[in-house]
Amino acid sequence: MTSDPFLFLPQALLAWFDEHARDLPWRAASPGRRDPYRVWVSEVLLQQTQVVRGKVYFERFLTAFPDVAALATAPIEAVLKAWEGCGYYARARHLHRAAQVVVRDGFPQNYEEWLALPGIGPYTAAAITSIAYGEERAVNDGNVRRVLSRLHAEKEPGELWVQARADELLFRADPGRWNEALMDLGATVCTPKSPRCGVCPLSSFCQARKSGRPGDFPTPKRRAPVQAWPAVALLIGDAHAAYLEIRQGGLLGGLSGLPTEPVEDGDEQGALERLLGRLGARHARLLGTVSHTMTHRQVTLRVYEAQADLPRQAIQAHALSRLDHKALSLTRQAQTALFEM
């Protein structure tokens, strides 16, 4: 009799995966190992994007840039436009920079080489190299953390603990397929709330299920408090063509957007006057208010329209954040209401 409680676990999980694997565009069937470019783009997309939305963005991005050479030679503005709406735009900037390195030096061939590229961390490097090259690397993401926490009934699994357990459990004969199976299980069955233990292929191995309270594992991580960020914006133009500025900073850097000024100490009028003065604008009129959550920031934007002798750019030609698209929707709503009067 064996003392290894997980001896038959790989067989159970991979059999389940063969039947229930998610139909995802980056998993398109092809002979041999997967295309590293498609795997790379998909993994970067899924870092901060849900799979349902990620599928749409992936198809759009691959249509615009079907291979790494197309991505590397494209202007960054075109890359950001293809990424528009996906958020966390530093991912797109890193992809673009890394693609230029790949075109110059060739595709990385192992974990360490992938890790050296811009925007590639340990999880992404492990996912790419295991799936595209068959390298024996265990991934460690939120889904894997949850599955392993429940298998071992560990309420507070630290990063080192999770990686060690993932390394121990890795099915080395087919690491890419194993990693995808483990992540699919966490995404579709071993979910954060109301895990579907009755259909889980690993239920007989699971210590959390035996405890009778699998949903208690792992203990939820503390989230950073959301900070309020009030601001005013000026629309000089209309929903089709307006004066735009290039955003700075890591969050929205490189995107175009309406001129914006933060509100300090609740003084909206002061922020508006600073913005009008900077642009030489006049006759400000409030259009409305929009809000949007970005990372741990809750932005409340008071949008004004004004007049100024400034050049206007076609909105459709530029990559804008969701916040700016919400702001522009106010003028569309106002125009519709005026037309219907």
CB proximity list for 56: less than 8 A, separation 6 or greater? none
Catalytic residue among 43, 154, 261, 305: 43
Exposure string for 101-132, b = 16+ CB within 10 A, e = fewer: ebbeeebbeebeebbebebbeebbbbbbbbbb
Query: Is 59 annotated as catalytic?
Result: no
> Quick check: helix, strand or coil at residue 145?
helix
In whole angstroms, what is the distance from residue 92 CA to residue 156 CA? 33
CB proximity list for 53: less than 8 A, separation 6 or greater? 86
CB proximity list for 197: less than 8 A, separation 6 or greater? 203, 206, 209, 214
* Active-site amino acid positions: 43
